[in-house]
Amino acid sequence: MKSTDTIADEGFAEFLDAPLSFSPLRPLPPLPPGSARRPVEVFPTWSEAQRVAARHAAGPLPAIASLRSVGFLPLARAERIMEWYIDPPASDAHALEGAYSALAEELIALDRAVTAAPAAGGLGVRVTLVATPEEPYADAADLCDDVRQRGAIKLRAAAADAPHPLLPNAAVDRLRTVHDVLGHAALGLGFDLQSEYAAWLYCRPLFSRAARPAAFCELVGRVTAHVLTGTKPAFRADLPPAGL
């Protein structure tokens, strides 16, 4: 697909079955007035989390400086992602089950990398699940500071929401832990559109080719729909169409 919406060449993260190659990232073309061209919420990074991510990645991680200073999700593509996510799922049931099974399995080891003691190669992050109606942090800055300074994170438990169609609650909690710690806290980025997409690009190499489409649905599809609409959508399970 060749258009002004293309962020990078076809060897990059736009195509989920592409090899993990991070040859030169291209910044966004000009965006409409009022659209952020780069991450808005930028905080100190966490080098320990970056080292753990590097150990568990299936390929090279993208440059942190680029992810913190340049946007890689054009607004037009973000809108297509949102529309895909809120439309009824259309994926083959067998492929869907395989991708989500792979994701749930891989999250066990990734969650352990976050929560295990440093002596065991982990970050030693203490995770507390809460069932409050609201998120436990006022903003991303508070979350990242808690993780970086105190080695602790509070998450709204998956059990407090309607269940995911394919992932058990424990897997949803692990996914949130991995995304927030090895994505947001590692990069020192917030919850705005470009920061969320940067967190995905950094976490993407942590997942295998089999699990990556399901991870995309959760970490890009649902998150992008939430950011653009201002309302957290219900969980759904789907695999992105080629080229999305």
Share of the chain above pLDDT 90, in %: 83
Domain ranges of the chain: 48-229
pLDDT (0 to 100) of residue 243? 87
pLDDT (0 to 100) of residue 33? 38
* Mean pLDDT of all residues in 71-95: 96
Does position 13 have pLDDT exceeding 70, yes or no?
no
Q: For residue range 182-222, what is the model confidence (pLDDT) as tens digits?
A: 999 999 999 999 999 999 999 999 999 999 999 999 999 99
Q: Give the predicted TM-score (pTM) of the model.
A: 0.87
The structure tokens listed for 2 are 């060749």
As a whole number of angstroms, the distance between CA 71 and CA 68 comes to: 8
As a whole number of angstroms, the distance between CA 47 and CA 232 comes to: 30
As a whole number of angstroms, the distance between CA 10 and CA 173 comes to: 32
pLDDT tier at 18, thresholds 50, 70, 90: very low
Q: For residue range 49-74, what is the model confidence (pLDDT) as tens digits?
A: 999 999 999 999 999 999 999 999 99
As a whole number of angstroms, the distance between CA 103 and CA 100 comes to: 5
As a whole number of angstroms, the distance between CA 204 and CA 160 comes to: 27
